[in-house]
Amino acid sequence: MSHSPLIVWLRQDLRLSDNPALSEAVKTGVPIIPVYILDDVHAGEWKMGGASRVWLHHSLSSLNTSLNGKLQVATGPADRVLTDLIALTGAKGVYWNRCYEPWRVTRDTQIKKMLETAGTETKSFNGSLLWEPWDVLKDDGTPYRVFTPFFRKGCLSKAEPRTPIPAPVSISFYSDKDTRATIDSLNLRPRKPAWDQDMTPWDIGETAAQKRLHAFLETGLKNYKEGRNIPAGHNVSRLSPHIHFGEISPHQSWHAAKQFGIAHGLEKDLDHFLSELGWREFSHSLLYNFPTLPRKNFQPRFDSFPWQDNAEYLTHWQQGQTGYPIVDAGMRELYQTGYMHNRVRMIVGSFLVKNLLLHWHHGEDWFWDTLYDADLANNSASWQWIAGSGADAAPYFRIFNPVTQGEKFDPEGTYVRQYVPELASLPMKYLHQPWEAPPLVLSAAGITLGKNYPHPLVDHSKARDIALKAFEQTKNPT
């Protein structure tokens, strides 16, 4: 048996369990070299943002502990790093789990051709999606453009997602004589955010992801279908960053949820949770089949939309200073914690593109830099959805009223009071529209509009009318 090592190239699969590339490499019986490469060169404009890098630092540290300190890390073009590592170690092959972002597909295809031409074995596996995007197509062989038939007819008509693979019992590592770079040398932790707030660290890593999943199933799956809309509630999984970085696989989430949901008679809530995993699949299918999704309107009619250019509006939105409490709470939650509740993501997104008439690219870019779970497929598909320009998009005329959204989904004001503490003493009647409060009420609550909390940036009713008139210009694009 050859003792030349195998390289396991880790990417969005920072775990030991249900890791097909790692498991197959271990089965060969030869020593392995687990490596993570921070390749900002090929990533270009889609290199990870600040929040994602913070998460990655902690996730790699956790994984390195699980690998007995044997994780190798490097920076630079992945083709060069792999070539150098093969030359240094005599590795006979490279195994990896597939990624589906356009820049990664292009790079990985080139690397596979380069390695195989040089006589190095390559094997790739599916460790990140429940179904391959090229397997879920319409009867005519074209990709789905609407979510419900994609999931109900396309995905659910296929074979059940495979059962998760156990973590290897033992791993034989290649001895590298301690020449490896350190995780700290990747410089993933950014300068302190401008708001004098540190992004609150979560419990990060494979073990933490498993605990999070099972805690959600125990306390959050029941009433998930409705409760997931309440930002101050507990019916959210908060699994998205764990899934994005591959600390837990969608297969593990799918099968654990099915087992728990069926055993506890929670079929309706289970179905909705599984459909959320299905939306992730849909987003990746769109990105794979339509690689211009992150920058180009999926519906060309929006190419003629008269977006505004207002840097002041954008700054107020980014900093949670719009004068609309539910919007400001969401934007502050994002900046302070690297996360935002999904319902609130829709509210702040609608406000940006339909109340302020700012291009969805601005929201996409801000989320890319500030979300722990920033995922190119989910981010671009979701921003196009809220803008009305995407696949299966919300109709443009569906313009969220931030006051009624706040009253409906934060009826006790718990969420707003947490993230907009200057409004904490305001009576519930005025919490979601403080400008309607009488002067004596504002004074009693310690609020001076325009000083310690802003006046509304725009009038929602007037902004809605302007937005609908702007939308009319897309109906007959030149």
CATH number of the domain residue 411 falls in:
1.10.579.10
Q: Model's pTM, two decimal places?
A: 0.95
Pair 18, 82 in one domain:
yes
- Note the pLDDT tens digit of each residue in 239-256: 999 999 999 999 999 999
Give the angle subtended at the CA of 318 by the CAs of 312 and 324, to the nearest 5°.
85
Pair 121, 145 in one domain:
no
Which of the residues are catalytic?
A: 276, 279, 307, 342, 360, 383
Coil, strand or helix at 73: strand
The C-alpha torsion from 370 through 371 and 375 to 377, rounded to 10°, is -80
Pair 446, 350 in one domain:
yes
Pair 249, 354 in one domain:
no
Q: What is the mean pLDDT of residues 197-209?
A: 81
What pLDDT, on the 0 to 100 scale, is given for residue 196?
40
Is residue 233 included in any domain, yes or no? yes
Give the angle subtended at the CA of 456 by the CAs of 453 and 457, to the nearest 5°.
110
- DSSP lists the bridge partners of residue 75 as 38
Is residue 367 included in any domain, yes or no? yes
Coil, strand or helix at 33: strand
Pair 22, 89 in one domain:
yes
Is residue 149 included in any domain, yes or no? yes
Task: Check which CATH number belongs to the domain holding 11 and give it.
Answer: 3.40.50.620
Last residue of a domain, one of 233, 256, 289: 289
Q: How confident is the model at residue 201 (pLDDT cuts 50, 70, 90)?
A: low
Is residue 83 included in any domain, yes or no? yes
Q: Domain count of the chain?
A: 3
Is residue 256 included in any domain, yes or no? yes
Q: Can you give the residue range of the structural domain that contains 139? A: 129-163+206-289
Is residue 190 included in any domain, yes or no? no
- Note the pLDDT tens digit of each residue in 395-436: 777 899 999 999 999 999 999 999 999 999 999 999 999 999
Pair 102, 133 in one domain:
no
How many CA atoms does the CB half-sphere of 58 hold within 13 Å? 20
Strand order through the sheet with 121-125 = 72-75, 32-38, 6-10, 93-97, 121-125
- Note the pLDDT tens digit of each residue in 33-66: 999 999 999 999 999 999 999 999 999 999 999 9
